[in-house]
Amino acid sequence: VHRTAQAELALAMAASQSRRRERIDRCRIFSLSAQSMNVLAKLVKAADFAAKKHRNDRRKDADKTPYINHPIACPVCRAQFKAEEGDVNDVDILCAALLHDTVEDTDTSFEEIEELFGKVVRDYVDEVTDDKTLEKMERKRLQIVNAPKKTPGAKQVKLADKLYNLRDLNRCTPEGWDEVRVENYFKWAKQVVDGLRGANAALESELDALFKARGV
């Protein structure tokens, strides 16, 4: 009888622990679900903001494709590769990729970015924004010089930006560009990318494949 009582007690304790684990698992699932919804909401908000800001902008290809295709594709490029540190789902980096041209090419201010998306996103966008008051060649020179100084998050935004642009050049030559100008862009882009190395090996590998195909 004593052994039977012990067995029943053990079974009861096991059942209690099992129910407790189930409650913990349900809480974790709910927490992860809520977190995922928050991430998705922030990304949708950034995509909507960028689409409205770039609504009148077009790419330089013959089809005049909507400019918003570019910032939307940048986080896609960023998200399809797993960074070495496992931060592929960093929502602030992905938002910055969506917003990276808004200050440079539209009437958006850094203050507006910070108010809507937070200081981290604002800082990333700030890091990858060129000063349009400077001559184009000086801006390109500064991209090379400043690339190694950027934070890892900003480097990944730039890597995704360059990857999309170079793939786009391979797909369709912009109006007014000849092959020499395309080759020169690839050479300049490689100089920028060389300064961004160490932030995302997978993105760098994809870029290196493009450079190798071009012989640069």
Indicate the SS3 state at residue 47. Answer: helix
138 is catalytic: no
Contact 159/196 with Cβ under 8 angstroms?
yes
Name the catalytic one among 57, 61, 105, 183: 105
Contact 60/11 with Cβ under 8 angstroms?
no
CA 43 to chain centre: 11
Name the catalytic one among 61, 104, 114, 123: 104
How far apart are the C-alpha atoms of 87 and 101, rounded to whole Å?
22
How far apart are the C-alpha atoms of 146 and 154, rounded to whole Å?
11
Strands (E), the chain: none
How far apart are the C-alpha atoms of 138 and 135, rounded to whole Å?
5
DSSP state of 74: H
104 is catalytic: yes
How far apart are the C-alpha atoms of 189 and 198, rounded to whole Å?
16
Angle (deg, nearest 10), helices 179-196 and 136-146? 30
Question: What residues form DSSP beta bridges with 66?
Answer: 58
How far apart are the C-alpha atoms of 69 and 41, rounded to whole Å?
19
User: Among all residues, which ones are annotated catalytic?
Assistant: 104-105
